[in-house]
Structure 1
Amino acid sequence: MQTQDKEHNAATAKFIQQIAEYELERTLRIDAGVPALHRLVKVAKGDTGQAETVRAFLLGLYNGYNFPFNLVSLRSIDKELFDDCIDVLALDARATQKEIHLYIDHPHPDTGSKLFKQWARQAIDQINNSH
């Protein structure tokens, strides 16, 4: 019986440690990813080639089924933007606290939703006009 108690205690301690590690990682991803997302949104509002790539990247995170993103496109952007994309990808993949567009809803609710829906409509229009 004592062996089972030790195994149970060890398993519980390991589980608690994993939760603490996950919470630390989540906090680090949020701390790096949210400011990176805000920088990317600012760039994505522009009309440069890099802005188009960043918009496509963000739309891919927003709805990858409707807006697939070719990762090779990241080769065409500046190092700082690339690093921000990686931080935002890690935020979306590892923090999983909320959907990516909801991180930009401050100070006005639905800011992110409206912006991403606008970009989605523009992307669909661009696809339709190219055919």
Structure 2
Amino acid sequence: MKIASLIYLWNMTQQHRGTSGARVAAGVLLGIYNSNRFPFPLDELRALDSETLAHAIDVIRCDASHCQMEVHVWLNIASGRSDFGDRLEHLAHEYNVFKRGRCKASDLRLLDPARIVLCMAIGGDDGR
């Protein structure tokens, strides 16, 4: 997985709430997380600037061609946490633009902290 690109997309969802770029970044992550619940129409990629699009394509390419682990597991490893499955569920609730897979607030576990931004460690990208 291109960890730097994965972190870039995650941070878009955390730092640029309410923008089309953040919504599309969330759609890419959620589509990879569970495409049955969160189908992602590829034409949504048109809303991204060229840098964010390159990161999205990197993540999609890595997941499609060499899927070693689920996206939430990669994020857990990159962050040293264990709650990214829950964090992606919160993301789905926050970006309530999906026809299927909506998450009810009552079904979500409390997160501490509610939002996090990840830092990229030098050498943290395995290049795939």
Give your verdict on TM over 0.5: yes
Count the aligned residue pairs: 97
Q: Unpaired runs of 5+ in structure 2?
A: 103-128
- Cα deviation for residue 56 of structure 1 reads 1.2
* Residue of structure 1 equivalent to 2:32: 61
Of the three residues 70, 73, 82, the one matched with 1:99 is 70
- Give the TM-score of the pair, scaled to structure 1: 0.66
Name the structure 1 match of 2:21.
Answer: 50
1:42 and 1:123 map into 2 onto residues whose CA distance is 14
Equivalent-residue separation in structure 1 for 2:26 and 2:47 (angstroms): 13
After TM superposition, the score normalised by the length of structure 2 is: 0.67
More helix by share: 1
RCO higher in 1 or 2 (8 Å CA, sep ≥ 6)? Answer: 2
Q: Which of 82, 88, 93 is residue 110 of structure 1 equivalent to?
A: 82
**Change in CA separation of 1:125 and 1:87 when aligned onto 2, cut-off 3 Å:** closer
Other-structure match for 1:120: 92
1:121 shift after superposition: 2.7
Whole-Å separation in 1 of the counterparts to 2:97 and 2:28: 17
Highest CA radius of gyration, 1 or 2?
A: 1
Deviation for aligned residue 1:44: 1.3
> Is the alpha carbon distance of 1:79 and 1:38 closer, same or farther for their aligned partners in structure 2, counting shifts above 3 Å?
same
